Structure 1
Amino acid sequence: MSASAKDRHQWREGYTTGSSAAAAAKAACLQLQQVRHLILGNEWVEDQKITQVNIPLPNLSRLSIPVSQCEGDEQRAWASVIKDGGDDPDVTNGLEIKACVNYLSEQGSILIEGGHGVGTVTKKGLAVPVGASAINPTPRRMIEQAVREVFPLEEIKVVIEVPQGEEAAERTLNPRLGIMRGISILGTTGIVRPMSEEAFKTSILPELDQAVAYGHRTLVLTPGNYGFRTAVEQMHVQPEAVIQMSNFVGYILEEAVYRGIKQILLLGHVGKLIKVAGGIFHTHNRVADARSEILLAHCALAGMEQSTLLKLADIPTLEGAVKELLQLNQEDLVHKLAALASARAEAYVQRKVKIGTVLTLLDGTFVGWDEQAQQLIQDEGWIWPVRD
């Protein structure tokens, strides 16, 4: 049974890539410690196969994680954990997370690096500096704490590898964020809670932080890939200034204002952004699907005949209805909807930011816009797409 078919209260939790890396590091250290004791003869220990480890979590609780493989000698060892995201549909689920540890000296620091399959940060604005391995601060602390439970004082080098990480990263936001040649080692709690809307919303925030780090004070907010490609490929907006907000319009607007953004262009399919014109700031159709109602209400207010309203209501998609309006020379009505979306969005954030709106079709064709959008695009030197 898939996660979506289950009662959400029965969804199985999993563990993050950070927890996986910490568990692999601890297992490798235990293997290294065991072999050192056996070979160096400091004390007798039973040669045991390491199949599970218990690691500390950031909230001071603990987590037991199965170990897939474990090998080593008196100077180095490695162990791997298969990342289990529970019922959360994550591209890292099932990946092998491997830790290689080297004993360097009797006293010193824990040195943590990323190896094959762990990305390298190439753009500023993330939690990790440019040039460093994409192992976030919390997972680094988790790895260090796990290692210190085995080697309290010793200098140990830990290299985290993900053999299939480079391929998996292509299905994540990493290339766009400038994290190249691998996945990120992530996690703030160590636990994956399935299908968490809060976690999904939070995952968008690094893009906002990166935009700010690059000095952008004007952003394009778009629901998804179509808008992103339109902005970058046709309008020549810098990729770091384009944020894919998914359905969380209100949340991302508030977070953008909090970060000091001064101007925003809402750019997206008319079927999504018309909801903002109706005062809807979570646009998933299970939360609010009033697209046709909003359009028909404004058509009626514009004085359209009942026969036209009935014809529009009978069209199964909003894109089709808007195309019909354009055939009826009702471009001004679509422009008015864009202006209304901007006004509602500005009111939502108490007019702390200037907002313009462009409504598009699925192919990126601009069909509705307001004066603020035109001025913003002109001021930023972006390109107005021209369609044949």
Structure 2
Amino acid sequence: MTHKTGLEDYFVIRNNKKMRFGYTTGSCAAAAASGAAQILLGGREIKEVSLMTPKGILLHLELADISREADAASCAVKKDAGDDPDTTDGILIYARVEKNSDITAPRITVDGGIGVGRVTKPGLSQKVGEAAINPVPRKMIYKAVEEAAGQFDYEGKLKVTIYVPEGEEIARKTFNPRLGIQGGISILGTSGIVEPMSEKALIRSIEVEMTQHVSQGEKYLLVTPGNYGADYLREHMELPFEKNIKCSNYVGETIDMAVNMGAKGILFVSHIGKFVKVAAGIMNTHSHSADGRMEVICSNAIRAGAGIECAREILACNTTDEALHILEKHCILHETMKEITDRIQFYLDHRSYEQILLGAVVFSNEFGYLGQTPHAEELITKINQGVN
């Protein structure tokens, strides 16, 4: 019989597919801490714990790898990300709870062990040197252990250590090294529940990274939408690659967040396939939100002097590189890119209401450098000089 977690009736429909909810590393850590505390203080093994999440969903989570000693107990909960693509899916999140004889310690202390990252740079919700256990999961852990202590009338002190044996290896695939979190993953989650392919979660991760850069004194930010932009930046531009922030498809949200944080500017370095959409005011560049690449290239080619035959050829293209070849054949590639970059500048400024300095460098994998907006050179200079 399949174990029921309490999430069986929770799902979303995306692209005509039913996608399951999951639960966060924070929920796993809190449930494991609850289980370990109950096993330690109750003196017997249990197989399952119930955990009320901040989302208001009651989870019923199985315990694994249970170990019990005289003054300590440990167990694990297996992470289930549902149908969300998550590098931590399926790993075991452990908690060890032990009686604490340190009279100077608070009633319950929570720390991270092996595989839980340590904060090495300012700007995050934990101080430098602390374990990367975010505030909501930390509260969930405290509450779970406090409830277990109350259940067994235990009035002494307890020390909780969250650890993840696979954490250090998995962290290499996450944003953590870029954020200055070393040695493992973060224990995350504000609702306790993972909603499949949540845009909010991705935008929040971008915000966290941007906040850290701004808190370290970077006022002019260097942003790439994805791997193509990052690769081009590293291989072809004389800019500090380590300052690069990835914004995925969320150009508009990135600008909004930069304004709210008090940043003074952003230089985007992007493949033409993404940023040509910005020339039409499209601020979410995901193909599900909008495409129109050929229409944008075509209209700007006409502004640059293209004839009807050139326009028709562009509209028949499937890729931006194909369209660039058409422009090159008709000897208006440079002129068209000037039109496109001018309009990118207009819509970037429109999004920010000209509150900050914005610019973009646009390239193609096949053609290389294609052009840049009017403010790009000034931003390149400021970023290289570390101007604040």
Give the TM-score normalised by the residue count of structure 2: 0.88
Separation of aligned partners in 1, 2:367 and 2:172? 24
User: Which residue of structure 2 lines up, in the alignment, with residue 357 of structure 1?
Assistant: 360
Q: Give unpaired runs (5+ residues) of structure 1.
A: 36-46, 383-388
Q: Contact 2:251 / 2:285 at 8 angstroms: preserved in 1?
A: yes
Tell me how far 1:323 sits from its aligned partner: 4.1
Q: Give unpaired runs (5+ residues) of structure 2.
A: 1-11
Q: Which amino acid aligns with 2:362?
A: L
Q: Percent identity?
A: 38
CA, structure 1 residues 4+61, in 2 after alignment: closer, same or farther (shift >3 Å)? closer
1:129-140 correspondence to structure 2 within 5 Å: 129-140=127-138
User: Which residue of structure 1 lines up, in the alignment, with residue 274 of structure 2?
Assistant: 272
User: Which residue of structure 1 lines up, in the alignment, with residue 77 of structure 2?
Assistant: 81
Separation of aligned partners in 2, 1:349 and 1:111? 44
CA, structure 1 residues 90+26, in 2 after alignment: closer, same or farther (shift >3 Å)? same
User: Which residue of structure 2 lines up, in the alignment, with residue 98 of structure 1?
Assistant: 94
Separation of aligned partners in 2, 1:304 and 1:59? 55
User: Which residue of structure 2 lines up, in the alignment, with residue 258 of structure 1?
Assistant: 260
Match of 1:368 among 368, 371, 375: 371
Separation of aligned partners in 2, 1:17 and 1:239? 30
How many residue pairs end up in the alignment? 368
SS at match of 1:55: strand
Separation of aligned partners in 1, 2:166 and 2:128? 23
Separation of aligned partners in 1, 2:125 and 2:235? 28
Q: Does 1:25 align with 2:33?
A: yes
User: Which residue of structure 1 lines up, in the alignment, with residue 177 of structure 2?
Assistant: 175
Q: Does 1:157 align with 2:159?
A: yes
When structure 1 is superposed on structure 2, of 149-158 and 53-62 the one drifting more is: 53-62
User: Which residue of structure 2 lines up, in the alignment, with residue 303 of structure 1?
Assistant: 305
Could you list the per-position Cα deviations for residues 237-282 of structure 1 after superposition, in whole angstroms to 9, with x for gaps in the alignment?
A: 4456422111111111111111111111122011110101111111
SS at match of 1:111: strand
CA, structure 1 residues 248+6, in 2 after alignment: closer, same or farther (shift >3 Å)? closer
CA, structure 1 residues 229+125, in 2 after alignment: closer, same or farther (shift >3 Å)? farther
CA, structure 1 residues 239+129, in 2 after alignment: closer, same or farther (shift >3 Å)? farther
User: Which residue of structure 1 lines up, in the alignment, with residue 196 of structure 2?
Assistant: 194
Match of 1:203 among 188, 196, 205: 205
Match of 1:110 among 108, 116, 139: 108
Tell me how far 1:289 sits from its aligned partner: 0.6
Could you list the per-position Cα deviations for residues 103-155 of structure 1 after superposition, in whole angstroms to 9, with x for gaps in the alignment?
A: 11498421111111111122221111222211111111111111001124421
Q: Contact 1:230 / 1:364 at 8 angstroms: preserved in 2?
A: no
Q: Does 1:341 align with 2:344?
A: yes
Tell me how far 1:299 sits from its aligned partner: 1.0
Separation of aligned partners in 2, 1:5 and 1:138? 28
Q: Does 1:54 align with 2:39?
A: no
Q: Contact 2:348 / 2:358 at 8 angstroms: preserved in 1?
A: yes
Separation of aligned partners in 2, 1:248 and 1:112? 35
Q: Which amino acid aligns with 1:92?
A: T
Separation of aligned partners in 1, 2:149 and 2:366? 58
Separation of aligned partners in 2, 1:362 and 1:4? 35
CA RMSD of aligned residues (A): 2.3
Q: Which amino acid aligns with 2:143?
A: Q
SS at match of 2:277: helix
Separation of aligned partners in 1, 2:129 and 2:368? 39
Separation of aligned partners in 1, 2:355 and 2:234? 26
Separation of aligned partners in 1, 2:232 and 2:124? 25
SS at match of 2:50: strand
Tell me how far 1:363 sits from its aligned partner: 6.4
Separation of aligned partners in 1, 2:228 and 2:332? 26
Q: Contact 1:207 / 1:240 at 8 angstroms: preserved in 2?
A: no
Separation of aligned partners in 2, 1:130 and 1:216? 18
CA, structure 1 residues 83+91, in 2 after alignment: closer, same or farther (shift >3 Å)? same
CA, structure 1 residues 58+4, in 2 after alignment: closer, same or farther (shift >3 Å)? closer
Q: Does 1:185 align with 2:183?
A: no
Match of 1:122 among 101, 120, 123: 120
Q: Does 1:142 align with 2:145?
A: no
User: Which residue of structure 2 lines up, in the alignment, with residue 385 of structure 1?
Assistant: none
CA, structure 1 residues 165+94, in 2 after alignment: closer, same or farther (shift >3 Å)? same
Tell me how far 1:364 sits from its aligned partner: 8.8
SS at match of 1:90: coil
Q: Contact 2:345 / 2:374 at 8 angstroms: preserved in 1?
A: no
Separation of aligned partners in 1, 2:279 and 2:264? 21
Q: Contact 2:251 / 2:284 at 8 angstroms: preserved in 1?
A: yes
SS at match of 1:243: strand
CA, structure 1 residues 315+13, in 2 after alignment: closer, same or farther (shift >3 Å)? closer
CA, structure 1 residues 7+288, in 2 after alignment: closer, same or farther (shift >3 Å)? closer
Match of 1:72 among 68, 84, 106: 68
Q: Which amino acid aligns with 2:303?
A: L
Q: Contact 1:117 / 1:182 at 8 angstroms: preserved in 2?
A: yes
Tell me how far 1:55 sits from its aligned partner: 2.5
Tell me how far 1:326 sits from its aligned partner: 4.0
Q: Contact 1:100 / 1:158 at 8 angstroms: preserved in 2?
A: yes
